[in-house]
Amino acid sequence: MRWFKTALSAASVTGVLLVAIAMLLFTPAAAIAGQSDSTWRPQPNDPAALSRTYDVTRHALQVAGAPYAQWAGQGRQFLAFDPRGNGRIVEVFGDLSAADRIAVLVPGVANRADNFDTGLGDVRDRAPAIQAQTLYDATRAASPGAHVAVIAWLGYEAPQGVGRDAAREELARAGATLLDGFTKDLAILRPHAHVTVIGHSYGSVVAGLAAAGLPPQVTDLVVVGSPGMGVTRAADLHTSATIWAGQSAQDWIYWVPAFQVWGAGHGTTPTTQGFGDRVFGTSGVTDHDHYLSAGTQSLANIADIVLGRDTAVSAPDSSTATVPASG
């Protein structure tokens, strides 16, 4: 009877796995909240419009109470804020009204308005606000005379955990529509500026799905720690922007299977050989969260991309090169 019990146990495990896979593939993602955040609209002929927007949003932060009220008193520049649900929030570093180089950082899984400033699990290097500030400081250090603005854009509903929502595209597609709209507004405000969109983790899926609708002012599309961009090759993104990708060999995303079937999965890993993008080095990044941390090769490379210094971008060393193509 031992063989029968073993077979029954194996069958039970197989059954559970099949049910889990079926749920992943065929269960629709959670309903997307129809939040209407304090949406910014560009007014290029009104120099004071941005300041008024910052003032209105600062007041909304104060009214919302902790933790947002504290941020409002620090002289920071918020373009949009909505505390409902998991929240949406957009912060600007630098003078957006005069910027010739603009970076838009799109964060990924488990980001919410209430941990925008502190990071998931209070790990500050995970926080979009900290990442954007660090990137802004890096561009200023590399080119003190450049007119740069960096925007931390949590303007969409991100998946809350590495689960079904993170494995599917529904939230990313909704976010991509919002990202397209936001970058088009930036193009209206600063029509001659060069815009770089930077997607981290699930944020790279959002960026990939948005690519075809981005305005021509978006000249570079950067992804780090990406599970995929919703396509099998860069050409399928249908954008004129240069596609860049970086991935640490110590990032757990390296082990996520690259697939796309029936709404699950995000396509080919962008650092895969033959994908058709430009892969840059990420030395110093020891996990999934520190691509924009001070002292890393990836931060220096991304800063150079934002500044338009493509020839200064350094490639991976031989130990962290591109992922071999499958098949």
Of residues 44 and 5, the one with the higher pLDDT is 44
How many angstroms separate the CA atoms of 276 and 274, rounded?
5
Of residues 11 and 111, the one with the higher pLDDT is 111
Percentage of residues of the chain with pLDDT beyond 70: 80
The arithmetic mean of pLDDT across residues 62-74, rounded, is 92
Residue 18 has pLDDT above 50, yes or no: no
Please spell the DSSP secondary structure of 57-121, one letter per residue. Answer: HHHHHHHH-TTHHHHHTTT-EEEEEE-STT-EEEEEEE-GGG-SEEEEEE--TT--GGGTTT-GG
pLDDT at position 120: 79
User: Looking at 27-41, 105-119, 226-240, which range is the least confident one?
Assistant: 27-41
Residues facing 215 on adjacent strands: none
pLDDT at position 63: 95
At position 125, the amino acid (one-letter code) is: D
Residue 312 has pLDDT above 70, yes or no: yes
Residue with tokens 């931060």: 299
pLDDT at position 13: 34
- Other CB atoms within a 10 A radius of the CB of residue 282 amount to 29
Of residues 123 and 33, the one with the higher pLDDT is 123
Average pLDDT value over all residues in the chain? 84
Between the alpha carbon of residue 181 and those of residues 120, 175, 288, the distances in Å are: 27, 10, 28
The arithmetic mean of pLDDT across residues 9-29, rounded, is 38
Please give the backbone phi and psi of residue 62, each rounded to the nearest 5 degrees, phi first: -60, -45
Of residues 11 and 86, the one with the higher pLDDT is 86
Query: Checking DSSP bridges between strand 242-246 and strand 194-200, what pairing results, if any?
Result: unpaired
pLDDT at position 159: 86
How many angstroms separate the CA atoms of 174 and 181, rounded?
11
Query: Checking DSSP bridges between strand 101-106 and strand 148-154, what pairing results, if any?
Result: parallel
How many angstroms separate the CA atoms of 322 and 196, rounded?
22
C-alpha 87 chain-centroid distance:
16
Residue 327 has pLDDT above 90, yes or no: no
pLDDT at position 9: 41
**Residue-wise pLDDT tens digits, 149-174:** 999 999 999 888 665 666 677 899 99
Q: In what order do the strands lie in the sheet with 194-200?
A: 77-82, 88-94, 148-154, 101-106, 194-200, 218-224, 242-246, 278-279
Of residues 24 and 261, the one with the higher pLDDT is 261
Structural domains present in the chain:
82-320 (3.40.50.1820)
| Three-state DSSP class for residue 245 | strand
**Residue-wise pLDDT tens digits, 224-278:** 998 889 899 999 999 999 999 999 998 877 767 665 655 665 678 899 999 989 9
Q: Model-level pTM?
A: 0.85
Torsion angle, CA of 8/12/14/20, rounded to 10 degrees? 170
